[in-house]
């Protein structure tokens, strides 16, 4: 399979060099430096677009959109003053990046061929010093079905930023298809995001957030993990995907309503209970990915800003599910108030900046579903391939709104779990979730 459209890579723009990284980028940079050849710090997904699509017009829309997003068009080098990002000149604006486009209608299984290509591409590391740090592909897999694949280094984009990019590309495509211009770009600039980040780190809010996390984790022991040991993130991860039946899903949602909360909090509480019982501990710390976008610049810049925050919970033999769920609700509420304070800074404050011991156990990542952008009336539905490095276990939660029940992915570090172990943990968790959905939440939690 060959690219039908490609161009020479961008080159550095003279006079725009040496821009320091944001705090979010700095943490990722140091993590990547521990294993420079690892592709683990990539995020990737594809949009399944159903309907007529003009691939030439799509490429033009995508080129224009990337031309508007200066935070994407950088390369990053180590210097005596620390890592610096340099803008890439793209002539004409938006052009000059690798774009792979292919029609697979002559293949026996177009979806399988596209999937194999995407999996192979996902395993390839970026060269940070030359850039670009993103990759796009467009596959036609049916007469009216297209897959738009996007892979980005986490240094330049997170899930929120990816949504901004996709929405704008759809907006530009729709305008071009109607024979008009899309209007002014809604994107902010990388410089605005960095200025906002710098101002926060010099503010009273930063000091308040720091005090909150220091108080919350005073005397904090090592968090329990299902593996019982630690390891660096591997270059890849194991994934087990399961669907929660529609009946159990309905009962979980009803339980959430009865507890005046939402289904993600119910599932998060169940995961905490499972970790506590499986590890015979009463103190559980889950990791919660958050957008950390509260300022006007952060909400408008397609870049990376997301954060990982700890959720500390106490689970005793006498704890009821209602009590545990309330802990989750209050803990998430507090974390959101203080979500801009970096995970790396919390580790530093606790005196663990270089320790391999993690601050959290399993991550629980709630991936909100929206109906996706539309390309001149052709809807796009997102399918997530990678959300970043898996240090221990990441639990991804989805409700795709398709009436098929909740989807729960268990992503495990293969240095810590074999596939059968991951499958066993997931099966036991799903069994527990079904039992909790049928249990009085005001009685002590059921035993495993």
- Over 60: is that where the pLDDT of 353 sits? no
Examine residue 91 and state whether it is found in any structural domain, yes or no.
yes
Examine residue 3 and state whether it is found in any structural domain, yes or no.
no
- Over 60: is that where the pLDDT of 40 sits? yes
**pLDDT tens for residues 123-163?**
999 999 999 999 999 999 999 999 999 999 999 999 999 99
Examine residue 105 and state whether it is found in any structural domain, yes or no.
yes
CB 217 within 8 A of CB 351: no
Is there a single domain that holds both residue 314 and residue 392?
A: yes
- Greater confidence (15 vs 183) lies with 183
User: What pLDDT, on the 0 to 100 scale, is given for residue 401?
Assistant: 73
User: What pLDDT, on the 0 to 100 scale, is given for residue 92?
Assistant: 57
Examine residue 443 and state whether it is found in any structural domain, yes or no.
no
Rounding to the nearest 10 degrees, give the CA dihedral for residues 326, 327, 330, 332: -120
Domain range for residue 19? Answer: 11-192
Is there a single domain that holds both residue 25 and residue 159?
A: yes
Is there a single domain that holds both residue 237 and residue 94?
A: no
How many distinct structural domains can be found in the chain?
A: 2
User: What pLDDT, on the 0 to 100 scale, is given for residue 12?
Assistant: 43
- Over 80: is that where the pLDDT of 376 sits? yes
For 398, the enclosing helix (H) or strand (E) is strand 393-398
User: What pLDDT, on the 0 to 100 scale, is given for residue 16?
Assistant: 40
Examine residue 118 and state whether it is found in any structural domain, yes or no.
yes
Examine residue 4 and state whether it is found in any structural domain, yes or no.
no
Is there a single domain that holds both residue 218 and residue 154?
A: no
User: What pLDDT, on the 0 to 100 scale, is given for residue 372?
Assistant: 82
pLDDT band at 217 (very low <50, low <70, confident <90, very high): confident
- Over 80: is that where the pLDDT of 17 sits? no
Mean pLDDT of the chain: 91
User: What pLDDT, on the 0 to 100 scale, is given for residue 89?
Assistant: 67
Examine residue 426 and state whether it is found in any structural domain, yes or no.
yes
Examine residue 5 and state whether it is found in any structural domain, yes or no.
no
We report the CATH number of the domain holding residue 394 as 3.30.559.30
Is there a single domain that holds both residue 319 and residue 295?
A: yes
pLDDT band at 352 (very low <50, low <70, confident <90, very high): low
For residue 265, what are the CA distances in angstroms to 269, 302, 311, 397?
6, 28, 12, 11
SS3 (DSSP) at 242: strand
CB 50 within 8 A of CB 147: no
User: What pLDDT, on the 0 to 100 scale, is given for residue 354?
Assistant: 57
88-97, 130-139, 224-233, 368-377: least confident range: 88-97
Is there a single domain that holds both residue 116 and residue 249?
A: no
User: What pLDDT, on the 0 to 100 scale, is given for residue 400?
Assistant: 77
Is there a single domain that holds both residue 137 and residue 236?
A: no
């Amino acid at each position: 399979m060959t690219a039908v459209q490609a161009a020479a890579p961008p080159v550095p723009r003279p006079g725009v060099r040496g821009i320091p990284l944001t705090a979010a980028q700095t943490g990722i940079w140091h993590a990547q430096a521990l294993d420079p050849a690892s592709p683990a710090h990539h995020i990737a997904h594809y949009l399944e677009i159903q309907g007529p699509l003009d691939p030439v017009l799509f490429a033009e829309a995508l080129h224009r959109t990337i031309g508007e997003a200066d935070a994407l068009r950088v390369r990053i080098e180590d210097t005596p003053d620390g890592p610096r990002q340099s803008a890439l000149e793209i002539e004409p604006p938006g052009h000059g990046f690798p774009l792979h486009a292919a029609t697979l209608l002559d293949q026996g299984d177009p979806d399988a061929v596209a999937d194999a290509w995407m999996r192979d591409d996902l395993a390839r590391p970026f060269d940070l010093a030359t850039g670009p740090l993103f990759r796009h592909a467009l596959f036609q897999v049916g007469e009216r079905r297209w897959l738009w694949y996007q892979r980005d280094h986490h240094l330049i984009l997170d899930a929120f930023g990816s949504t901004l990019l996709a929405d704008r590309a759809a907006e530009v495509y729709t305008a071009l298809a109607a024979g008009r211009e899309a209007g002014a770009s809604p994107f902010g600039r990388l410089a605005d995001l960095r200025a906002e980040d710098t101002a926060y780190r010099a503010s009273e809010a930063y000091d308040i957030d720091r005090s909150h996390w220091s108080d919350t984790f005073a005397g904090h022991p090592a968090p329990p993990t299902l593996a019982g040991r630690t390891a660096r993130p591997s270059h890849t991860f194991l994934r087990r995907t399961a669907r929660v039946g529609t009946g159990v899903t309905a009962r979980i949602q009803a339980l959430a309503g009865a507890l005046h909360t939402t289904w993600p909090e119910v599932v998060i509480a169940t995961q905490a209970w499972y970790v506590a019982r499986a590890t015979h501990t009463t103190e559980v710390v889950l990791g919660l990915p958050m957008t950390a976008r509260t300022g006007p610049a952060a909400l408008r810049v397609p870049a990376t800003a997301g954060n990982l925050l700890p959720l500390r919970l106490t689970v005793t033999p006498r704890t009821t599910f209602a009590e545990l769920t309330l802990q989750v609700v209050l803990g998430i509420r507090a974390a959101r108030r203080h979500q801009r304070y970096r995970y790396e800074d919390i580790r530093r404050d606790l005196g663990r900046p270089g320790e391999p011991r993690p601050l959290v156990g399993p991550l629980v990542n709630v991936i909100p579903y929206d109906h996706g952008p539309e390309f001149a009336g052709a809807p796009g539905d997102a399918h997530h391939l990678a959300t970043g490095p898996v240090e221990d276990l990441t639990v991804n939660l989805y409700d795709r709104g398709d009436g098929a029940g909740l989807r729960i992915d268990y992503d495990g570090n293969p240095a810590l779990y074999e596939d059968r172990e991951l499958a066993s943990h997931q099966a036991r968790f799903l069994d527990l979730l079904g039992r909790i959905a049928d249990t009085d939440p005001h009685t002590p939690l059921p035993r495993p």
